[in-house]
Structure 1
Amino acid sequence: MADEVDLESLKELEREVILQVLYRDRAVQSIEEERIRKLKTHLQHLRWKGAKSSSQEYREKCCARCQRALGLLLNRGAVCQGCSHRVCSECRVFLRRTHTWKCTVCFEDRNMKIKTGEWFFEERAKKFPTEGKHETAGAKLLQSYQRLSKISVVPPTPPPLSESQCGGSPSRGSLISINSTCTEMGNFDNANNVTGEIEFAIRYCFKTQSLEICIKSCKNLAYGEEKKKKCNPYVKTYLLPDRSSQGKRKTRVQKNTLDPTFEETLKYQVDPAQLVTRRLQVSVWHLGTLARRVFLGEVILSLATWDFEDSVVQTSHSYPLRSKAEKYEDGVPQNNGELAVRAKLVLPAGSRKVQETQEDQLSLNGQLCLVVLGAKNLPVRSDGTLNSFVKGCLTLPDQQKLRLKSPVLKKQGCPQWKHSFVFNGVSSSQLRQSSLELTVWDQAIFGMSDRLLGGARLGTKGGAAGSVDSCSQSKLQWQKVLSSPNLWTDMTLVLH
């Protein structure tokens, strides 16, 4: 069909419009290919973690996924119908509306085929085995465009992948359907200008420990002069800094209006002590064709000084919509909580001068001891809890990495691990050129990706990018640890 279309016969404006559409289509295809690549990479990592394969033999009977030992009478495991490997009860995922189950790897493989649409092409290949891949008409038109020199069309920048794109972990006993694989496909367009206002009220019920956002209405929304009658607005909220799919709330979509009325209440389960560390983000979006989202404006309110016992404050108010805020305001990284640690450099007995002159001989006798005490103000889930753990990575001057991990504390919003990390075989001269990175994670279920809550770094590259104060403070703390061997140093690290 592309051979029948002659771009030379069209006017320059017509060519430009057609090519802009084709370039946008190619950009969307590139984003989709990158999304599929990440899904396949994640699946491959899960397969590598598996303990068994058909070409390996094992002396002991254990789960093929988590390598947990299986018993003779209790917890004997069962054979997965997909891969024929024996797995324990914790590594099984039951499918919705059925009594069947699959192991975590087989479930993720099925989930990946659903999200990418590979199941359709597999079934199509069975029905039409001789059908090959053909070049599309749009691709041929773009190739022919390269020969034209009268038009100068710059391809649009591909839209960024949003955090909520294809995000979220499947709950036990559930199966993600095709229509819910990508709840947010990114910002494919933006409103020409942000105008209008939104009316809502914020209330907190201390009895049920629930925060209620009562969305009333919006007025004078802007979505282009030529599309006024096709604006389909809805409201989305986050309780920052949590931007996960579990922390997202949305209203219903109102059709063909610039002054929508919602009258809906969005709720969050959050502890009262957590309210002072959270910010409420209320944004307005337009739902276009092919699930294209358009940003229409937002409001961000800090809850630190909010008086929830004042009845006047809990009434609805109108707020002007503003443009999208930068991720880091004024170059300062986002604060994702604080991590309390205690560190000590343990050196062999002897005078300090002797130690400094014999650094090379003592390089294998020193220890860096670190106690991860606890964390607070973390970006918790919607229920106010986390299944959190801490990873520690000490990078030595020769780029050798020593990694340690704490146990998982489940269902805690302010975890207190009190777990010790001990890095053996180090000296003060090595540590002066080393860096220690601590990251806090929220454990996912069923083999899905864990969520990074924040991190901090001590050492030669301490601090977060763009934060001079944090960088200098971390260097001073690290120098204090190295200059005071065999003494504990308490630190509070800001997570970014």
Structure 2
Amino acid sequence: MADSVRVLISLLRVPDDVSISEAHSSPMLASRNGSKSATPSPVAPGSRRGPGSVSSQDWSSVNADDDIDRLVVMHQTRSSLSSLGLRSDSMASVYSGAGEGRYGTVTVRGQVEFGLQYNYKARALEILIKQCKDLAPVDVKRNRSDPYVKVYLLPDKSKSGKRKTKVKKHTLNPVFEETLKFHISLNGLETRTLWLTVWHSDMFGRNDFLGEVMMTLENKVFDDPTPMWYNLQERTEPFDDMLSFKGDIIVCLKFVPPDMTVHKKGKRSRGTLHVLVKEAKSLTAVKANGTSDPFCKSYLLPDKGRSSKQKTPVAKRTVNPVWNYTFVYDDVTLQELAERCLELTVWDHDRLASNEFLGGVRFSLGTGKHYGKPVDWMDATGKELTLWKSMLERPNFWVEGCLSLRPSLDTRTS
């Protein structure tokens, strides 16, 4: 059998620079906030060796059937890999845009063992992923899968809100012993739902769903970190189409009517819009230390000029900034404000590169028109619309609201 393997290798002519890298199947636990596993993951029985170039003498020490299968797959995908100009350590990127994975390819079964505790000193939720047992096999012939665990704190399903364990090869009973960390305040957890999923890692295609556990964290008491077993369930709800959660912003609005005694540059003021940006909560952490340096920027559309743009100071190293900063727009009337839009955007300040958009809101009457002409920025809905309408209906009176930040706007360079 060893001789036949060598013959197949020579026929397929695997180039020397192609290596079977397992980096794709062992995603680092750290996300953008740099959190890592607190406990090194033990090597699961039957796991393969680390990355290395394929040579004929390597194959003599491994299962011949497995190696033939892998060589055939490599040969089939070799042309597509080379056409993309990929190196051996980037094989996983071939399907990086393929989405979360596939559902319904296997019947969910098995259990997962994990524990929760809140680290008050680090202000972080720590999830100890112990192990899984009796998982469904994706490779039915060999009765095995290549499982890993992924966790989100919904409704945040952004890339920075994802945590993953390493992949365990060729087992239905993987032992992980890894700690996943989310830097979030205890109060912030009140509105979150733990979404833990188990997946089979596929080198050349989309990963396969092996089960999930959903757990609301509202009123959760983190007094017992002892890991417990939970039954894996079929997928309960399609979250792929769900907008990414970007946090909340608390804003107060007030229109001050014209004061006959107030003059500016010889002209009587026609009215003033006051915008008090109080704070934001649960923003996306984009820094390596699990925080951001957020600031809020304002435009009174359609004016995009310098006279319309106003900014808060930058709040350092936080995802829950408190600004209590007021923007003032002079010489505007109620009639004009009914045709205009207040746009607030939140950004992470970066001294060395472009600032990163964290979310935004738009206040208007949501008519889609500016003096009868269709525009895309008069698109307020929900609380954005009702708060703006309340401000117009109650001059000289503060109205306050807590609004969810939109994950995208027609953003401009900050």
The alpha-carbon deviation at position 178 of structure 1 amounts to 7.0
Q: Distance in 2 between matches of 1:243 and 1:408?
A: 26
Q: Is the 8 A contact 2:158 2:245 kept in 1?
A: no
- Give the structure with the higher percent helix: 1
1:320: which partner in 2?
A: 232
Aligned to 1:439: 345
Q: Name the TM-score, length of structure 2 as normaliser.
A: 0.59
Counterpart Cα distance in 1 of 2:258 and 2:151: 55
Question: What root-mean-square deviation, in Å, do the aligned CA atoms of Structure 1 and Structure 2 show?
Answer: 4.0
Contact in 2 for aligned 1:202/1:316 (Cα 8 Å): no
Look up the SS of the partner of 2:238 in the other structure.
coil
- C-alpha change, 1:302 and 1:283, in structure 2 (3 Å) is same
Cα drift, residue 229 of structure 1: 4.4
Partner of 1:337: 247
- Choose which of 411, 419, 443 in structure 1 pairs with 2:317: 411
Residue pair 1:236, 1:284 contacting (<8 A) in 2 also: yes
Residue 307 of structure 1 is aligned with which of 213, 217, 221? 221
Question: Aligned pair count?
Answer: 300
Cα distance in 1, alignment partners of residues 258 and 183 from structure 2:
51
Q: Could you say which structure has the greater relative contact order, defined with CA pairs below 8 angstroms and 6 or more residues apart?
A: 2
User: How do 1:138-287 residues align onto structure 2 when only pairs under 5 Å count?
Assistant: 179=90, 185=97, 186-187=99-100, 189-196=102-109, 197-222=111-136, 224=138, 226=140, 229=143, 231-287=145-201
CA distance in 2, matches of 1:263, 1:281: 18
The answer on whether the counterparts of 1:237 and 1:249 sit within 8 Å (CA) in structure 2 is yes
Cα displacement string for residues 366-415 of structure 1 (whole angstroms, at most 9, x for unaligned residues) = 4322121112243446856321111323334x999944332221112321
- 1:488 and 2:398 are equivalent in the alignment: yes
Task: Check the 8 A contact 2:292/2:319 in 1, yes or no.
Answer: yes
Render the CA deviation track for 1:288-317: whole Å, top value 9, x for unaligned.
2247533333323222221112x3x74312
- Cα distance 1:475–1:250, how it changes in 2: closer, same or farther (>3 A)? closer
Give the residue type in structure 2 aligned to 1:300.
Answer: M
TM-score (normalizing by structure 1): 0.51
What SS is found at the alignment partner of 2:227? coil
Q: 1:458 aligns with which of 355, 358, 363?
A: 363
Instruction: Specify whether residues 299 and 188 from structure 1 end up closer, same or farther in structure 2 by C-alpha distance, changes over 3 A only.
Output: closer
- Deviation at residue 335 of structure 1 after TM alignment: 5.7
SS at match of 1:417: strand
Structure 2 unaligned segments of length 5 or more: list them.
Answer: 1-77, 81-87, 262-266, 368-379, 407-414
Letter of the 1:212 partner, please give it. Answer: E
Q: Distance in 1 between matches of 2:248 and 2:189?
A: 16
Q: Is the 8 A contact 2:291 2:318 kept in 1?
A: yes
Tell me by how many angstroms 1:328 deviates. Answer: 8.4
- Counterpart CA distance in 2 for 1:218 and 1:284 is 9
Structure 1 position 234, deviation (Å): 1.0
Is the contact made by 1:363 and 1:426 (CA closer than 8 Å) also made in structure 2?
no
Secondary structure (helix, strand or coil) at the match of 2:188 reads helix
* Contact 2:383 2:403 (8 Å CA) reproduced: no
1:378 and 2:278 aligned: no
Alignment partners' CA distance in 1, 2:206 and 2:198? 14
Deviation at 1:267, TM superposition (A): 3.0
Q: Which amino acid aligns with 1:456?
A: V
Displacement after TM superposition at 1:340 (Å) = 1.9
**In 2 relative to 1, CA 270–478 (structure 1 residues): closer, same or farther, beyond 3 Å?**
closer
Q: Secondary structure at the match of 1:478?
A: helix
How high is the sequence identity, in percent, across the aligned residues? 34
For structure 1, list consecutive stretches of 5 or more residues without a partner in the other structure: 1-136, 140-176, 352-361, 463-469
